[in-house]
Structure 1
Amino acid sequence: MITKNNINKNHAMLMVLCVLIAVSVLSVNMLNHIAPLLLLNNSDYLSVFETSQLHSFSMFFLELHSYGYLIAQIFFGLWLFPLGYLVYKSGFIPKMIGILLMLGCFGYLIDFFISSLYPNSLSLISLIVTVPADLGEFSLCLWLLIVGVKIKEHGKKS
């Protein structure tokens, strides 16, 4: 069991901050998915553009969405390190899950840099470097669903 004193508040706040940034970036980035729909809905104000121009604009926004997702991936990777550290130190979830989560942080960052530097690189590299994150996140979810969490108050016997 875990006591409330085993949890590092600063690491937890860093984790939440990274997730908030990632979710904010993804939320704004969803506008790039909506833009092609607006461009292709045959509104009167778009009649000044030719069809080929509208198609080009639509593809631009769809490609822009993939870059926005890539930016959010930085913060989705960064949040895994404090989460993994908290899991590792907690003592109520297997340390291996915490290690996988921390490795997953670096996997996401490596994937970001490879995708940024070599945009036409093979997606196989992306699959390989993100395996620890996938294993860690799924393992954590399964552990919490199957085993669960029991928190012991400091100074109380269970």
Structure 2
Amino acid sequence: MNITNQKLARLAGVIYLITVITGVFSLMYVPNKTFIWEDPKKNIQLFQEFEFLFRLSIVSEVLCYSAFLLLPILLHYLFKKTNKYLSRLMILFVLVAVPLSLLAISHKLDMLDTLGNDSLSQIDAEQLQSQIGLYYNKIKIAQIFWGLWLLPFGYLIYVSGILPKLLGVFLMLGGIGYMVNFVGPILFPNFTQSIIPIVAKIPSSIGEIGTCLWLLLIGLKKEFRYED
């Protein structure tokens, strides 16, 4: 089979776009609509008000991680001639991240069971809050590997020259940012109240969205062929 890397790059861009869109929807937009840490009882009302949106977020999150699993495999074919070990390392980190992320979704399914009661008075607000906490604890562990995979990915972009080096720099900084946001709250209780968590997320957002759009709309800076 003879296939151009330009086509592989565009396909990777499509998969990356699916990952980004479904991730933003399920991990940012829906939680902002349904999760309020300070008021467990209000959570129940929000969940019931946005029940379909919450159910849709579960499907979206599964789709996100499924696409995420495929992404580094496609990228491996683009970068294996640059450094086959680092391109494999990308896959390894994602292979750890995806099962952890999917395991976290099981707690969303538990939330659905808890919310299955018809009467608000029968729903245990504290139990629901505990399930939200368990979900986010597993997501935090998964985020370690969401960050780690960006380090070899960013480095491969930087040294290969097939994508803008600046994108590689942002991806590597983004990987470090994930580590900062994981370690910070553990070491410093007031960490989340500072501006650091927001600043630490910026490089990964620029790097990942920028790389996604570049692959999708422009492709590679250098054209070559991969034969298998």
| TM-score bucket (shorter structure) | 0.7 to 0.9
TM-score relative to the length of structure 1: 0.81
Matched with 2:217 is 146
Which of 100, 103, 108 pairs up with 1:28?
Answer: 103
- Report the Cα distance in structure 2 between the residues aligned to 1:105 and 1:152, rounded to whole angstroms: 28
What letter corresponds to residue 129 of structure 2 in structure 1?
M
**Structure 1 residue 123: Cα displacement:** 6.2
Structure with the greater alpha carbon radius of gyration? 1
TM-superposed CA distance for 1:76, in Å, is: 0.3
**Alpha-carbon distance in 2 for matches of 1:87, 1:24:** 26
Query: Given the alignment of the two structures, is residue 74 of structure 1 paired with residue 144 of structure 2, yes or no?
Result: yes
Give the alignment's TM-score, normalised by structure 2. 0.58
Larger helix proportion of the pair: 2
Cα-to-partner distance string for 1:40-93 (whole Å, 9 max, x where unaligned): 3139xxxxxx946x3221110111111111111100000000000111111111
> In structure 1, what is the Cα distance between the partners aligned to 2:80 and 2:131?
48
Residue aligning to 1:116:
186
Does the aligned pair in 1 maintain the 2:80–2:87 contact within 8 Å?
A: no
Letter in 1 for 2:218: V
CA distance in 2, matches of 1:79, 1:91: 19
Q: Which runs of 5+ in 2 are unaligned?
A: 7-77
Asked if the contact 1:79–1:105 (Cα under 8 Å) also holds between the matched residues in 2, the reply is yes
User: How many aligned positions are there?
Assistant: 147
Preserved CA contact (<8 Å) 1:6 1:90:
no
* Farther-moved stretch of structure 1 (33-42 vs 21-30): 33-42
1:107 partnered with 2:177: yes
Unaligned runs of 5+ residues in structure 1 are: 44-49
Query: Quick one: percent identity of the two aligned structures?
Result: 37
Match of 2:134 in 1: 64
Compared with structure 1, are the counterparts of its residues 31 and 4 closer, same or farther at alpha carbon in structure 2 (3 Å cutoff)?
closer
State the distance in 2 between where 1:131 and 1:37 align.
Answer: 33
RMSD: 2.6
Larger deviation: 87-96 or 113-122?
113-122
**Deviation of the 1:153 alpha carbon:** 4.1
* Alpha-carbon distance change, 123 to 145 in structure 1, aligned in 2, over 3 angstroms: farther
* 8 Å contact from structure 1 (residues 4, 152) kept in 2: no
The correspondence for 1:98, drawn from 157, 165, 168, is 168
**Alpha-carbon offset, residue 144 of structure 1:** 0.9
Contact 2:79 2:156 in 1 (8 A): no
